[in-house]
Amino acid sequence: MHRRRDALVIFCLAAHTAMALRPPAPLPAIGLGSAEGPAFEAMADAVAVAMRGGMTLVDCAQNYGSEKAVGEGLRRSGVARENAFVLCKVDLCSRAAEDPKARMRRQVARSLENLGCDYVDGVAFHWPLALDKPVGDDEARSLRVDAWRELEMMVEEGLVGCLGVSNFSPALLDELLEVATRKPVFNEVELSPACYQAELLAHCATRGVKVVAYSPLGGCWLAKSPLRRPDPNAASPRPLATAYPRGSRGVAAT
C-alpha cells in the first residue's frame, strides 16, 4: 500500500501483554508507527482504523511530519484519549545555539499543539547526537544531561507520562542511566531479521530497559547497509520473517 509499509508498524520486545510502567498508562506490546507514512488524510484514516481495531499505541515525531495527522486520526477513531498511548520524540539534531532545556520544552509543546493533546504518554529522546554541529564528547554529554533533566521536569508536571530513548548505543544508554532520576523505560531501535542487534538487546535486558523495534520487517538504514547484504544462496526471507517472532523472546509481527 505504501512504499515503506513496515515503517508504519513498531513492536515491543516483551510478552504479548502490556508492560507495567509509571502512570498514566502502560506501554502496549504492539503499536502503529508513522515514519515515512502516507499523506495527511490517509495517515489519519490509518490511525483511526488501527485504533478502532484495538491497537492503542501510536508512535510519531515532529521530523516525521505526521503529528497533526496522528492527532486527527485519534479524534476520528472515537477512542477515548485515556485509552490511547501516544508516543512522540524530541532531539538535539539541529540545536544551533538553542539551550537544550529550552529546546526540549519547545519540542514537547509543539508536539502537544500538533496532536491536539494536553499530555503525551511517552517521549523518546530520538537521537543522542547533535548532528548539525560537531561537538566534543564532554559538551555532547552535558547537552544530553541538560535535555534529560528538562524532560524529567515535564514528567513531574504531568505533561509526559514516561521517558525513553531511541537509537542509543549501550555506552550512551549507560551514560544516561548514571545521571537519570527517571531512567529511560525503553530504547527504540531498528530491529528485524536483517538487523538483529543481539548485543544491544542483551545490554538493555540487563539494565531493565525495554526494547521497541522499528522497521521490524527490515527496510530501514542498517538493514539496507552494504555490510548487511543477504546471502544470495540463503533461503527465502518470508519464512524467516514469519518464524522470527516465535524465536525472539515475544516479538510480535504481521
181: three-class secondary structure by DSSP:
coil
The catalytic site residues sit at 64
Distances from the Cα of 141 to the Cα of 95, 99, 105, 249, angstroms:
14, 14, 19, 33
Query: What angle in degrees, to the nearest 10, is found between the helix axes of 170-179 and 198-207?
Result: 20
Helix (H) or strand (E) holding 31: strand 30-33
Residue 24 in contact with residue 233, Cβ under 8 Å?
no
Cell numbers at 175, concatenated: 551514560
Tell me the pairing of strands 85-90 and 210-214.
unpaired
What is the distance between the alpha carbons of residues 199 and 179, in angstroms, rounded to a whole number?
Answer: 23
**Is 187 in contact with 153 (CB distance < 8 Å)?**
no
Question: CA dihedral in degrees (175, 178, 183, 188; nearest 10)?
Answer: 20
Contact between 126 and 91 (Cβ < 8 Å): yes
CB 93, CB 104: distance < 8 Å: no
3-state secondary structure of 113: helix
DSSP category for residue 195? B
